[in-house]
Amino acid sequence: SMTLEHGAHRIGKRIDSKMSRWRNYGFGQFIHWGLYAIPGGHWNGEYYGGAAEWIRSWKGMPNEDYDNLYTEFDPVDFDPKAWAEQAKDMGARYMIITTKHHDGFCLWPSEFTDYDVTNAPYGQDIIGPLVEAYDAEGIDVYLYFSVMDWNHPGYRSKLETAEDREAYEGFKEFTRNQLLELLERYPSTKGLWFDGTWDAAWKEQAEFADNLAMEMREMIPGLIIGSRFRPDDYGNRHFDSNGDLMGDYEQGWERKLPDTYEDTKGNDWDCVMTVPENQWGYHSDWRGHVKTSYELIEMLVKSVSLDGNFVMNFGPNGQGEIRKEERQLAKEIGEWMHKNQKAIYDCGYIDWEKQDWGYYTRNRESGEVYMIVFNKPINGALRIKTPAKINLDKIFDLNGPQKTYRPEEIHRNEYFIHLDEALLETPKVIVIQYSEAT
Ligand SMILES: C[C@@H]1N[C@@H](C#Cc2ccccc2)[C@H](O)[C@@H]1O
């Protein structure tokens, strides 16, 4: 392997209690909110087919028109307590809020730029009340921060001239100042979710990013930072030039899921997921497929079954309201979570052979296994194959009358259990208590 100054500084998972808390969340909420919510995917009567939070990059939106949107930002319906209660009811255990997206507009009063909420009609801090409201609900808050910043004069996507490099030094200082400012203002945050770090200019900043990450971790010991922040000595991100994960967990699963445990490389990871195909910020005209609560629950379950966290995105509108489609999804997912959260919280992967009926999760403390059944076979027989020396001691429904199942052995370590239900209305959880033969 290569000698790297600024590659991975740890091989394998973090095992401290703060990271265990992160690992056990299971379910999180992403919130993308900012100036892009005002146009909501339209400008001058034209429909923008891209991701709403990228509308500034569209030829139909002149940059100066976008950059002046801050003069209209006055979300009179913003109600952080209502958002936090909804997240609690949905069963989210952490929340990631965009403090600054690629456009550079800051949802907190920043000392280092005028392009922030204090200079908009709204005039007040948005991040502080959100942190407070979510902390009050016991939901941990993480701060999303885009390094790429289209508003800052020193930002460069690549460094070609001496002038570029000069300007970029100022941009790096600005970036550091804003990050330390966020940790100073919101010390209860548990971590940072970085984005906008794919530029060539940033990929040359291995030493700067490494030192900044260390500085932030000194400010808040145990701070959780994923694989999307630092480039290594050769500009590699997520995994360094030796293939080792950089940061505390893998942030590569954006709008996609791993299919097998091997795909996760045995690392901690999160999947961040949009409700439409590709809209993070508010778009008033969702086209194409909009995911149902069934699909989102399956993605959540699949994530946990593969040792990851699933983070579902919400995009409040320009008035600060959460749209009805998202409210309905939160309600439906919450109904399932209220009855089945035991199969999600504090759970992760178990190396039993995946079956067509659905997914296994395993509680990391108790060792209790959960079968989460999505696909009932025509004959109602659910196959269970375990590694050798595993005894199935007790099998019963998580909900409803405590129905117990008698496994029918069909081969060594292979069984059927038989469902009574003619039809499953929602994904069904069955509990397996097992022991290992000594
Ligand atoms: C978490 C998500 N990352 C951002 C992006 C992107 C992007 C942009 C261009 C090509 C590929 C990905 C989205 O705007 C959203 O914030």
Task: Note the pLDDT tens digit of each residue in 78-123.
Answer: 999 999 999 999 999 999 999 999 999 999 999 999 999 999 999 9
CA distance 163 to 154: 10
The reported pLDDT for the residue numbered 1 is 86
- 414-418 sheet: strands from edge to edge: 381-385, 414-418, 408-411
The reported pLDDT for the residue numbered 79 is 98
Percent of the chain whose predicted confidence (pLDDT) is above 70: 100
Ligand 1 centroid to Cα of residue 397, in Å, is 41
66 lines ligand 1 (CB under 6 A): no
Q: How confident is the model at residue 47 (pLDDT cuts 50, 70, 90)?
A: very high
Average pLDDT over residues 313-332: 98
Average model confidence (pLDDT) across the chain? 98
The reported pLDDT for the residue numbered 401 is 82
Q: Give me the residue label for tokens 């808050």.
A: 141
Ligand 1 centroid to Cα of residue 164, in Å, is 24
pLDDT at 438 exceeding the cut of 90: no
272 lines ligand 1 (CB under 6 A): yes
> Which of 254, 255, 310, 311 for mutating ligand 1's site (highest number of atoms within 8 Å of CB)?
254
Interface predicted TM-score (ipTM): 0.99
Give the predicted TM-score (pTM) of the model.
0.98
pLDDT at 22 exceeding the cut of 90: yes
Question: What are the CA-CA distances from residue 283 to residues 71, 89, 286 (Å)?
Answer: 20, 24, 6
> Which of 31, 33, 53 for mutating ligand 1's site (highest number of atoms within 8 Å of CB)?
53
Q: Give me the residue label for tokens 């095992």.
A: 15
Q: Give me the residue label for tokens 């445990």.
A: 261
Q: Report which ligand 1 atom has the smallest distance to the Cα of 51.
A: 14
Strand partners, 30: 96, 313
Q: Give residue 257's identity as a one-letter amino acid code.
A: L
Ligand 1 centroid to Cα of residue 17, in Å, is 31
Ligand 1 centroid to Cα of residue 117, in Å, is 23
Q: At what angle do helices 324-340 and 80-90 cross, to 10 degrees?
A: 40
pLDDT digits (tens, 9 = 90+) for 412-424: 999 999 999 889 9
Q: Is the dihedral of CA 85, 87, 89, 91 positive or negative?
A: negative
Average pLDDT over residues 346-370: 98
51 lines ligand 1 (CB under 6 A): yes
pLDDT at 402 exceeding the cut of 80: no
**Strand 140-146 relative to strand 191-195, pairing:** parallel
Average pLDDT over residues 221-244: 98
pLDDT digits (tens, 9 = 90+) for 173-193: 999 999 999 999 999 999 999
pLDDT at 34 exceeding the cut of 90: yes
3-state secondary structure of 2: coil
298 lines ligand 1 (CB under 6 A): no
Question: What are the CA-CA distances from residue 35 to residues 14, 108, 120, 134 (Å)?
Answer: 36, 13, 10, 22
103 lines ligand 1 (CB under 6 A): no
Ligand 1 centroid to Cα of residue 13, in Å, is 26
pLDDT digits (tens, 9 = 90+) for 253-300: 999 999 999 999 999 999 999 999 999 999 999 999 999 999 999 999
195 lines ligand 1 (CB under 6 A): yes
Ligand 1 centroid to Cα of residue 186, in Å, is 25
Ligand 1 centroid to Cα of residue 285, in Å, is 19
- Structural contact between residues 130 and 80, judged by C-beta atoms closer than 8 angstroms: yes
Q: How confident is the model at residue 160 (pLDDT cuts 50, 70, 90)?
A: very high
Burial of 400 (0-12, 13-18, 19+ CB in 10 A): exposed
Record the tokens describing residue 84, joined without a space: 């936090």
The reported pLDDT for the residue numbered 152 is 98
295 lines ligand 1 (CB under 6 A): no
Q: Give residue 169's identity as a one-letter amino acid code.
A: E
CA distance 44 to 42: 7
Average pLDDT over residues 154-175: 98
Q: Considering only CA atoms, which of 15, 1, 2, 32 is closest in space to residue 249? A: 15
Average pLDDT over residues 42-71: 98
Q: What residue owns the CA closest to ligand 1's atom 3?
A: 195
**Contact residues for 400 (Cβ-Cβ < 8 A; gap 6+):** none
254 lines ligand 1 (CB under 6 A): yes
